[in-house]
Amino acid sequence: MTSPQALEYVREALKTPAYGAPGNEFNLEGLRQGMAARQPPIDSQVRCTPFHLGTLPCEWVVAPAADPSVRLLYLHGGGYVSGSGAHYAGLAALISSTAQCAVLILDYRLAPEHPFPAGLEDALEAFSWMQSHGPDLVSPATATFIAGDSAGGGLTLAALLALRDRQLPLPAAGIALSAFADLNLSSESMQSQAHTDPIMSTGCLPTFVDLYLAGSDPCDPLASPVLADYSGIPPLLLQVGDFEVIRDDSIRVTTRAEEHGVQVQLEVWPDMVHVFQVRGLPESQEAIDNIAAFIRSHRR
């Protein structure tokens, strides 16, 4: 049953236009400013260590009980054009504490300055580095994972596909939250959930796509993982809110991956919104608990 806190959150959110709707139109600079704001860990004992991987800003987020040899690369959301690791430090800390792993958050390059596939290449570079460099910078990993939300969820799926195609080592599993995975914008929920999603309007999505792709083919599976062949991909956990306009991206990825023999755990959360894991709701912690259980079950 949906918590009273979640129902009240949705009621309040619906009082203002969703992002991209009339009255809250797309504004790249404003979006970037908002998603650059740091959301720090609640637990002051969590260790946050910023550094640069080449020119890419990164940060290790490690809870006191975390095993630094178990590592998760986290790819932030933001429509491929905004967002920052700092904005997800709080979520990374909760994952680190609950799953007892070290989390590497990456500020990958953003469109339109750096269109597809720049962010994907950055994710691949960071994942490759993370396999042999942990918070202490020298020790190899015993288990690795890739996770991300929204655009970062799409990048998570694309990174798994690219690693497989390039015959590079794969993580133990992938985790995609509210994945933005169809840049053709053809999922049925784009229409059916248009009036239930209080966070994101369909009005902004074409702009995200145009800025990110810059003329590249939206049918490229690395841009739209809903179209991919998932053969040889490690197990997946997909979480999405039922109210989301991009809800069906996750459902379609699940169908494709299962057709290709991949183990998929799909969670469609009733009455939940886009990236509800960061909303501080009872369901947020329940979903993080499920992420932690999934990570523990797939450690190698």
Distance CA 272, CA 6 (A): 8
User: Active-site residue 96, yes or no?
Assistant: no
| Helix, strand, or coil (residue 10) | helix
User: Of 150, 201, 250, 284, which is the active-site residue?
Assistant: 150
User: Active-site residue 298, yes or no?
Assistant: no
| Pair 95, 293: CB distance under 8 Å | no
Per 3-state DSSP, the chain is made up of helix, strand and coil in percentages (nearest 5) of 35, 20, 45
Q: Please, what is the angle between helix 282-297 and helix 4-13, to 10°?
A: 110
- Give the type of residue at 11: R
Distance CA 188, CA 36 (A): 31
Q: What is the 3-state secondary structure (H, E, C) of 256-282?
A: HHHHCCCCEEEEEECCCCCCHHHCCCH
User: Of 274, 283, 284, 298, which is the active-site residue?
Assistant: 274
User: Of 76, 82, 187, 244, which is the active-site residue?
Assistant: 244
Name the E strands within 28-142: 47-53, 56-62, 67-75, 101-106
Name the E strands within the chain: 47-53, 56-62, 67-75, 101-106, 143-149, 173-177, 236-241, 264-269
Q: Any residues with CB less than 8 A from the CB of 288 and at least 6 apart, and which?
A: 91, 94, 95, 98, 277
Distance CA 149, CA 275 (A): 7
Q: Of the candidates 222, 72, 81, which has an alpha carbon nearest to the alpha carbon of residue 155? A: 222
User: Active-site residue 267, yes or no?
Assistant: no
Q: Indicate which residues carry an active-site annotation.
A: 150, 244, 274
